[in-house]
Structure 1
């Protein structure tokens, strides 16, 4: 039988939020691929990628964030926290770069990414689960 730690709620919140962010990124990627005129970009480019490349990047990254969140929610394996922090940090950076194309949405996702980073980082030292005999 497992005993809950005091940070279990934060970890579950962060994992669910990761899954939501991953779904949003998948939708962003699909939207960029299917309707490129929806986003405002200078000359159809975002940094060094065209909008189709950026759409694929969002799609793949969104699937990675979604999978990491599901893994973290499913059992909270120790390695899942590290992977979660890594993919959310990459997603945060991608949203910073995506800021000129869709500013308000990017700011919202950046704020959610920061919440997830806090939720995972705050639970890191206290993620020990003991078994009761």
Structure 2
């Protein structure tokens, strides 16, 4: 059974009706922030692996998107660091913080898609985690944030 936070909604035509905010919504936002920190850490490590050992990732020949592995390393390192910061900002509970978290999850998913020829299973796993973060941060709305105090 989920615990619920109760709040009053006042507006034109409403008689201060109690509105319930599910603790699941708060839990999903926390999940999204934690996963964004984890994804960013993984991506930064992925970037470091490409920077430090250029031959670590092997690309399929004649792939549409051919980018130097070291360049990919720097891209992933930068995106990873920014995603970790965005994950911590999500814990503030602000709408703009969740929007930034969603934006970084989208950018990460796109970068992982372009990285598929280098490490396909890992790329698909990261894309799935990004989709989970996007979903978790979208479930938690502004009204829930204001009413729960998170």
Fold-level similarity (TM above 0.5): yes
Higher relative contact order (CA 8 A, sep 6+): 1
Give yes or no for the alignment of 1:128 onto 2:148: no
Alignment of 1:1-133 (within 5 A): 5-6=21-22, 7-42=25-60, 47-73=65-91, 75-130=92-147
Greater alpha carbon shift after TM alignment, 33-42 vs 93-102:
33-42
Q: Which runs of 5+ in 1 are unaligned?
A: none
Q: Which runs of 5+ in 2 are unaligned?
A: 7-20
Give 3-state SS (helix, strand or coil) of 2:71's partner.
Answer: helix
Cα distance in 1 for partners of 2:79, 2:54 equals 18
Q: Which has the larger helix fraction?
A: 1
The Cα shift of 1:67 comes to 0.4
TM-score by length of 1: 0.87
User: How many pairs are equivalent?
Assistant: 128
From the CA coordinates, give the structure whose radius of gyration is larger: 2
Give 3-state SS (helix, strand or coil) of 1:47's partner.
Answer: coil
RMSD: 2.3
Check 1:131–1:114 CA distance in 2 against 1; reply closer, same or farther (3 A cut).
Answer: closer
TM-score by length of 2: 0.77
What is the CA deviation profile of residues 83-120 of structure 1, one whole-angstrom value per residue up to 9, with x for unaligned ones? 11111101000001101110111111111000000000
**C-alpha contact (below 8 Å) 1:46/1:98 kept by paired residues:** no
